[in-house]
Structure 1
């Protein structure tokens, strides 16, 4: 009996120990975490966050058999209420983590309190400064960084080439220190800028007069692109006032950020229809085709409708899914930290979160949830909205997010946008009607030495300054081509060009227009457009008489011209000699003698006709045409040689900069330009050998008197100087590459890309050339310009004359050859036939021709022939003469 009792007690002890062990294991795997939340339960955002966080805790407890607790406190967006709520959650409820609040003002105070107790805070504020993570290590950002959203807005602005926007935002710290800088940076990257900002106080809803006054200021500005970053209630109030002030009509563009657009589903359809037509909105992308989200959306819709029946729409928005994923991050971290004990803190576990939530992949980078990459673009139309497409960071716009082929598009490629007022055109983003905008302050140099570029004259009667010149007119033409209205005013500045550009850095001028050169030290204070004049620096020296003319007589003609002239002369001389050689004894003789004769005849014909010595009409015709051609060629040669003698009669006093430096001569430069530092630092001139000038007359006087050896001017103004003094000075040495003239703007100015583009249009359209012709190159020297290059003449200038004389000589040669063959025929008759047959043939030919001709007979036995011919003569007219020559 005792044995059985002992066995029973032993079994009971074993089961008890196993039960205790199982209870201990369950206790170790069971999480009893407490999470706190601070929200604004009076706003739509707060209501969605409350329902979403409660659902997240319930889903986690059911799915993991846990018992997390959620304590929610309201702040009503009051920083003081947020502080009290945080104290209560930490001290009374002993929470291990806090979610919220929604604004940075509340978050900063809560983070200060929680950090002392090492309680992680997951903030829902739309912007958190970078320095906050260092000051409060337990502060985490649970909402995506807004910089990507600002880049999406900038991409919209770029799609329609708008260049200025007005930002309307709630005057809270998170917007002023976060959203505005992000938007400004993003706009600058696409060549746009923020022209105006309107900060509305959070409680302006009860002050209609104030908001009307602020909007009235905007109507006087030419900018018509408005970016609205306001919470839902304030945005609705703004659009109501804008509607009454006719700012929701055509030519106005309204773009809303996520703070409003992600809640547009909750706006009453009648309100959208009457107040918000044509608005373009950017909102966080939610993968609605995800089964997890579809399940969440159905449950949320039912629960939200039962808890907040006063709301007209029960769909979840981006703020709801962000709150749901934030709770999951904390809950999962609590479970992990509970398993590992003291090896890892709750904060570290949260930072290691890595899962796919309702918003996509959830991770923390540098104490911030990974930034959103995709935003959805919508257009408010009718009583709701329609989806235009998506914007992805790095891939621009697309019709869908699952088809890469549709990426890298412009928003205007995604379909027709309905603009406010429903115009058939896309608004240009600005209007010229408004004139009260503060104009751009543009500095203009007063002391420009070359008035062709900048001329400033003071009108005492009107007490104003008149501005003219090439640079001024070019800027005016450029501004006309800008895609937006840019008011400006010119202001005179009396000082050096370096000081003038520095005024931009000092914010006394908004730009500088004039003949200021683009050089490195000026780029430290301003950014420049590309040069609108030829760049370079040249040395100008006096001219002196030239002594090198040895082979100048050959220069009027090219080598080809000289060779062709000789060939044609020899050819014409040969033709004349061949035709005339049987008519004069001076053209006969030995081969050497005849060669010299026809060469003499060839070149002497260049200067005289020899008409009295020529016996054939063919040779006379050849000689007349050649003499006509020779006369034109010789006169042209004389004229070209005269021009070259005029120009070549002068030469520069110095050939290069080395000669100038070795001579230790004084070098002149403009006091207003950058040239002095360039001569010292780059060209290594001694400072004591430099002399600054402020007057062109002083340049001329000292150069002519040889008091200075040379002056250095920029190419753009050197052309004007040489045009005025073309016979006294010239350039020498190389052209040193330095920047030309350009317009200056502040560093990073968003206006600069637009001005550069407009300046290129002026250049490509030919307008720049027209201005140069009318205002710069109009001043020409009436004497021979030293810069002209009198070139040698080639055969292409005389080919018609050469063809004429060559053809004439060839025709004469062909005719002569034909007559020569006919004479040889008659000679054969005299030799081979009998004398009587010959006489009869001659008489018969004479009878038909009715012309006088003579017959010359060459025979070794001349006597019988002469007797027979003499008999023939007695019966023929005297027109037939017979001459007998003894061979």
Structure 2
């Protein structure tokens, strides 16, 4: 919109047309669409959307007439799952409903689907009762549907295939005599959009064929190409009619030169804000241009002419400086002025290791350690309950590393089944999300904005620099830089402030009265509104535009790592507490028997054996441990019952 666009042509898909239509409605710019056929794109919802072609409801009614003519009551719709496919199939369903037919099954596949997805879809629809298929897909994947259908034997007798105008566009665009393509679609019914024959059409087709023969065009012309040509003609015709009606097209990107009421601007006449009316008495005035228009006038010379009574007053961006106040009287400043440094910005060369710059070394190290630490914690929590975290030591080590670093891309294939494992993983995935987002934002800044740099960043660097300095001829900048700073000029912040005022001869009463008028304008806000409208700077770089390539350090993320680490420790404490409770139940009976059978000299060996048993216990599956505890409890009860039965007296 910065280039004063008057119309937008395209896009070639209905999905993008939906998005662009929202934008052009806000900007009040017409969108001429020659390929968006989704019936839901209506001018009632999008007033600035102009469809140059026909929407899909027309061809869907034609398909419904064919189906009704042959007496078919059910069809299967094969379509691409986007705005284009869904809108067309919805229109087909409405058209069939009016003819007492319906769509028995809607077989949708995602855009850019591979052959396996399409093959599975066709195998599924082949098992259904209906053998009438309506194919409404994109040209990119449409021929794959017919190719797979032919390999599955679905193109023979007993099947009916109806393709919308996408297939006609493919056939028209392809080079003639393509036997492979024609063999795929033998027996299919294809709809083609009708374009009336005319001299303009024959001329366009002839010129396009010449481009194809000379190699300047790679495809033949189809119906959508004709509609695109009409769209360009429509925009050109509108602009031509606009000019013929005497309207003016501006090629300036500044919207402020247009009148708010829509009237023509006569730039040859001078327009000014008549603040002289605020004076207590009438002051007739005549504006005389100063300078020849080819080079900047000398402001000191202008002020001198006022002092010499050659001019009654000087109006303009005249800076109020000391040497000028000695010879003329100035009004109250109507705006502040000053000197700023405008320096060129050079682009720095990118480094091969630029992807390492977003984080500091400590941040990289801590992040890598936490990836391994969280992976090890999840492995500990899942090892006893999840078969995906079991296996040989080598396999388990590979699992830890794979699971740790695959969480960086949320691509871990191992499922967590324990409550503690899921608790730790949820917190860690949140940390990874924050780290990934921060890394992406920082890297983008480094590779774009932060590649812009300048050696001159202020007054001191300008003084020490040997670069040539430019200044406006006739301004006081030259004297200030040479006499005050002992250089010849300066980025960013103003280093001196003065103001702009109107110059009058010494002791002129107009200077005091006009100063009062300027203060009145300042108090009621008119002066600020004029300043905001015409003097707002939008182009020059300043000190605020300097970039700072601050790298993300550990201090910015230590809170996240602290929360994640505490969560891991809490989960481990709960996990090992449960392990010890289970182990005490598991080994209580064996420990009693071992103490009764062994003497005091073998207690140390018993403790060593207990440690080995504990490690072996931790490595076992939790289900096996629970079953073993249950069996030992049953055996112990049986032993107690047997012992009590053996001590009872036998019957007489």
Q: TM bucket by the smaller chain?
A: 0.3 to 0.5
TM-score with structure 2 length normalisation? 0.38
The structure whose residues are more often strand, as a share, is 1
- Larger Cα Rg: Structure 1 or Structure 2? 1
Structure possessing the higher relative contact order (Cα contacts under 8 Å, 6 or more residues apart) = 2
The structure whose residues are more often helix, as a share, is 2
TM-score with structure 1 length normalisation? 0.29
